[in-house]
Amino acid sequence: MGFGDPLGMAITHSIASGMGGVRTAGDLVGRMQMTRGMKLKEAKEYVANKLRVSVKELSDPVTMAEVRGDLDIGRVRSIPKFSKGIDAKFRIAELLGIKINCVDLFKQRVGREI
């Protein structure tokens, strides 16, 4: 989407038709479009299969808060001692079986194999 104040544009789309980002599984489905060029249906099915939830549950913040917590892949709130930021992305890359560019670069910087 493009120009417009956050309430009028970004928040409106987010509520009207967005998946919900890290509140749900929006970031994960987005990654499958970006890394594998998957169309939406295929990307949702792929992520649902990896998370062992139904496609409908992917957009449900209550179910997904639990699933994300159990898998420790980052949530809306930064919970002490749980993954967030780059460490959550390490786990997301492993869970989805994809390469995440900044995760690979991080590994290189600390002298670990990709």
Q: Give CA–CA dist 43/22, Å, rounded.
A: 16
Q: Is 62 an interacting residue with respect to other proteins (CB under 8 A)?
A: no
Q: Is 64 an interacting residue with respect to other proteins (CB under 8 A)?
A: no
Q: How far is the CB of 70 from other proteins (least distance, A)?
A: 16
Q: Give CA–CA dist 49/80, Å, rounded.
A: 28
Q: Is 76 an interacting residue with respect to other proteins (CB under 8 A)?
A: yes
Q: Which residues are CB-contacts of 99 (< 8 A; sequence separation ≥ 6)?
A: 35, 93, 114
Q: How far is the CB of 65 from other proteins (least distance, A)?
A: 13
Q: Which residues are CB-contacts of 86 (< 8 A; sequence separation ≥ 6)?
A: 102, 103, 106
Q: Is 6 an interacting residue with respect to other proteins (CB under 8 A)?
A: yes
Neighbours of 12 (CB within 10 A): 15
Contact string 9-48 vs other proteins (x = CB under 8 A): xxxxxxxxxxxxxxxx-xx-xxx-xxx-xxxx--x-----
Binding site for other proteins (CB under 8 A): 1-24, 26-27, 29-31, 33-35, 37-40, 43, 55-56, 59, 73-74, 76-77, 84-86, 88-89, 92, 99-102, 105-106
